[in-house]
């Protein structure tokens, strides 16, 4: 659902007469700047700052996370566009080249999630990194980006839900050209609040995770559960061609079931204790050549060399790269 004009109100919250503009009140080099893009950029920036603060808790560093972002973000943008175009091919079939005009709008979050996962897979392969800790970091960043980015839909006057005919306290009123105010489900707001709750929950749960990939699975389950019912309210859903099935609602339901299934399997049959997580891996032993100090005149190695080459404690475990392989979100 998209409305081009008219004031917006949230009577249940005591908010009246909002008339948001789609663009900033100035141009840059003659180009209009849309609030939608600005809000997406803000969400992306905050996600990066959050990741920078917590990378060490996941056993990596910000340089590697930056590399991972350079793989994930372009792939996310491309796949978000492809996902939308596939399920709205009717808009592009007469002029296929217009599918490349991404600045005219038309991306899908689930497509972006799929692209980000593929980008991280490529990053992990090329950089020889364990994938799942980066999926965990990505999951928390996605929740930040999504809870903020959904407000771009507000400025665009889109992604609203079905009409409401009662006094539901979160109903959103939109004044139409004839002055009549009709009320709708503000599904962009529902999803933003759902993602905010999910971020707060997963932020604390991630501090107690027992295996790499656990936070990502929790994200897939949480977002899928919320998207199932929110998508059912929307009037602008993407549908599987020739059916009445909302593609994102179906994908959300399937991903929720798979994520919960994988978590239960790991909990019941693996019972991880956290010792195999990347952050708990012991440092790789340095080579003897790098560690050894020059021998003294008597031919005995220096004391420091003896200490550095001492055997590790018997209780130390050698962690393995045991990557959890959750099902992809979309």
- 96-118 pLDDT, tens digit per residue, is 999 998 877 788 999 999 999 99
Place of tokens 């665009």: 156
Per-residue confidence (pLDDT) for residue 290, from 0 to 100: 42
SS3 267: helix
Average of per-residue pLDDT values in the chain? 85
For CA atoms 83, 263, 141, 161, give the dihedral sign.
positive
**Backbone region of residue 107 per phi and psi (left: phi > 0; alpha: psi in -120 to 50; beta: other values):** beta
% of the chain at pLDDT higher than 90: 63
Domain boundaries in the chain? 8-209
Per-residue confidence (pLDDT) for residue 248, from 0 to 100: 95
DSSP string for residues in 196-215: HHHHHHHHHHGGG-SSTTHH
DSSP string for residues in 117-141: HHHHHHHHHHHT--HHHHHHHHHHH
The phi and psi torsions of 174 (rounded to 5 degrees) equal: -130, 125
Per-residue confidence (pLDDT) for residue 3, from 0 to 100: 55
- 276-329 pLDDT, tens digit per residue, is 999 998 755 544 434 444 444 444 444 444 444 444 444 434 333 433 433 333
- 121-134 pLDDT, tens digit per residue, is 999 999 999 999 99
How many whole angstroms separate alpha carbon 116 and alpha carbon 136? 12
How many whole angstroms separate alpha carbon 48 and alpha carbon 54? 10
């Amino acid at each position: 659902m998209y409305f081009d004009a008219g004031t917006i109100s949230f009577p249940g919250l005591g908010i009246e007469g909002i008339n948001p503009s789609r663009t900033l009140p100035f141009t840059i080099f003659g180009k209009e700047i849309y609030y939608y893009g600005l809000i997406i950029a803000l969400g992306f920036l905050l996600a990066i700052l959050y990741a920078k603060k917590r990378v060490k808790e996941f056993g990596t560093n910000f340089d590697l996370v930056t590399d991972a972002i350079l793989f994930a973000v372009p792939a996310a943008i491309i796949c978000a566009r492809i996902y939308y175009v596939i399920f709205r091919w009717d808009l592009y079939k007469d002029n296929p080249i217009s599918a490349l005009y991404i600045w005219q709008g038309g991306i899908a979050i689930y497509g972006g999630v799929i692209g980000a996962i593929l980008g991280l897979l490529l990053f992990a392969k090329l950089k020889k990194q364990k994938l799942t800790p980066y999926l965990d970091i990505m999951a928390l960043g996605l929740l930040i980006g999504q809870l903020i980015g959904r407000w771009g839909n507000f400025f665009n006057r889109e992604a609203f839900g079905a009409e409401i005919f009662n006094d539901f306290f979160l109903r959103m009123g939109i004044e139409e050209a004839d002055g009549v105010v009709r009320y709708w489900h503000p599904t962009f707001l529902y999803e933003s609040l759902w993602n905010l709750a999910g971020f707060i929950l997963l932020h604390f749960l991630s501090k107690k995770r027992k295996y790499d990939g656990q936070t990502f699975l929790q994200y897939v389950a949480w977002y899928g559960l919320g998207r199932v019912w929110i998508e059912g309210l929307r009037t602008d859903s993407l549908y599987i061609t020739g059916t009445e099935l909302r593609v994102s609602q179906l994908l959300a339901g399937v991903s929720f079931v798979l994520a919960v299934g994988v978590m239960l399997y790991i909990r019941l049959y693996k019972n991880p204790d956290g010792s195999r997580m990347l952050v708990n891996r012991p440092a790789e032993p340095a080579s003897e050549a790098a560690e050894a100090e020059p021998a003294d005149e008597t031919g005995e190695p220096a004391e420091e060399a003896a200490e550095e080459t001492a055997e590790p404690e018997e209780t130390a475990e050698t962690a393995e790269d045991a990557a959890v392989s959750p099902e992809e979100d979309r």
